[in-house]
Amino acid sequence: MRNISSSPAAAKEKTILIVEDSKIFSHVLSNAVKKELGLEAVVCSCYQEARDYLEHGSQDLFAALLDLNLPDAPYGQVVDLVVGKGIASIVFTGEISDDLRDRMWSKHIVDYILKDNRHNVQQVVDIVKRLQLNTGIKVLVADDSSVSRKIIRDLLEVWNFTVLEAGDGREALDILNRQDRIGIVLADYNMPEMDGMELVKELRRTFSKTRLPIIGLSGAGGATTSAHFLKAGANDYMHKPFLAEELYCRVRHNLETTEYILTIRELAEKDFLTGLLNRRSFFNSGEKLFANALRGNLNLVVSMMDIDHFKKCNDKYGHDAGDEVICFVADRLKSSLRQSDLVARFGGEEFCVVGVNMHSENITEVFEKIRADIENSVIRSGEHEMRVTVSIGVCSTLKSSLEEMITCADDMLYKAKNQGRNQVCVE
C-alpha cells in the first residue's frame, strides 16, 4: 500500500486509487488489491487529497474505488472528479435508492457496492478482475440505430471492452470474418439486409453457444420476440430500453458462463500439473490424426519419452522438486515441437508425442535435439540445482492402429533404457 506522500513517478499503470475515510476499510481493500490482484494501491482519505493526487501525481490508474460519502464531499463529488479524469470507478455506498442508483449510473461508473456485509471486499476484487479480463475482449454490437449503438458502446467501454459496430446483420458477419477475439455479440431484431434473428441463425452454423454468446435486443414485441431469439440460438435477450445495470449484468453473466465452461473443458482435457493433453484427450485427437494418416492425407510419427532415474530425483530432492522437473520437461517439449503436434503426459514421468508431417530424414535429429537440450539444462527448484536426462523411443512407420504405433514407440523406449538410457531409438 502507498499513501499520497509516495512519489507520483512510482505510480504505474497497474495501480488502484482508493478514496475512503475509514482507515480499517481502506487498509483491508489495499491488502486485497495487492494480494489477490497484484496491483499497487494509492490511498486517499478525503476529496481534497484525491484532487491533489490527481492534479500533481500520476493519473495513469487502472481503476478507482470511491467512497460516496466523504467528510469533505458528502454528495458524491469525488465520483465526478475521478470519472471526469476517465478513470474506471467503483463506488461504495452505505445505502441505495432508485434515485441514487440512477444518478450513479448516469455518471458512467463501473458498478456500486453496498457496505452492508463482509463480502464487500471480495465483490470489489471480482469486479476489478472482470475489468482486467475485459481488456482485449471485443463486443460486436449489431443495430441499425447509430444512437442505440452509441449508448451501448459508451456503457461497455466503461468496462474496458473494445466495442465494434455493425449497422446490419451482413456487416456483422463481415466483421466476425475479419476480426478475432470477439467475445460476445449483441444483435438487434429489426435491421435491414439481415435482421437479428437471421444473424443468430447464421452465426450458430459456425459458432456454438459456448464459443460465442449472443444477446438478442428488441424494442418491439414481448415474450414472443424473446422466445424466437432464444429458439434461434441466442443465449439471452433484453428488451429496449434497458437499464445500464441490466446490460452489465447480462453481458458479464454470459461471458463468465462461457469462461466457466471453457475452464471445465480444459480441466477435463489437460493434465493438471503440466497443462499438456491428458491420455483421454490425446487419444481423442490422436485417433482423428491417425484416420487422416490412413487415408494418406498426412504422415505420423509417435514417440514415447521417459525421465531417467526419476524416482532417485524424487527421493533426493522431494516431490515438489520432482514436479518442477516434470513441468520443465513438459515445457521443453511444448517449445521444441509445433502446434500441429500432439504432446501428452501419459502419467508419472512418461510423455507421448504424435508428430505430424515430420520429414523422415529429420526425425532422429528432432528428438535428439530435445534429448540433448534437456541433458544440458539446469533445473532450479528452491535451493536445488538439478540435471536430468530422458530416454526416447520413436515409431516412424504407420501401423494398423494408433495403439500399435504407441506400443512400437514404447518398445523403442525400453530399448533405449536397456542400452544405457539418455538416448533416442527409432524404429
CA atoms lying within 13 Å on the CB side of residue 300: 29
Q: Return d(Cα 309, Cα 177) in angstroms, integer.
A: 51
The region, left, alpha or beta by phi > 0 then psi within -120 to 50, assigned to residue 348 is: left
Which grid cell is 352?
A: 507421448
Which grid cell is 31?
A: 491488502
Radius of gyration of the chain (CA): 28
- The strand pairing partners of 380, in sequence order, are 385
| Contact criterion met (CB below 8 Å) for 142 and 188 | yes
Backbone angles phi and psi of 426, in degrees to 5: -120, 135
- Nearest alpha carbon to residue 176 among 156, 199, 152, 194: 199
CA atoms lying within 13 Å on the CB side of residue 33: 24
Task: Report in angstroms the alpha-carbon separations of 122 from 117, 216, 256, 385.
Answer: 10, 31, 16, 39
Query: What is the CB neighbour count within 10 angstroms for residue 72?
Result: 14
Name 360's Cβ contacts closer than 8 Å, sequence gap at least 6.
299, 396
Give me the catalytic one of 40, 349, 361, 383.
Answer: 349
3-state SS record for 269-328: HECCCCCCECHHHHHHHHHHHHHHHHCCCCCEEEEEEEECCHHHHHHHHCHHHHHHHHHH
- Nearest alpha carbon to residue 424 among 385, 398, 391, 402: 391
Q: Return d(Cα 287, Cα 289) in angstroms, integer.
A: 5
- Angle 59-61-65 (CA atoms, 0-180°, nearest 5)? 115
Which grid cell is 96?
A: 441505495
Q: Return d(Cα 50, Cα 130) in angstroms, integer.
A: 24
Active site residue 165: no
CA atoms lying within 13 Å on the CB side of residue 265: 8
Active site members:
349
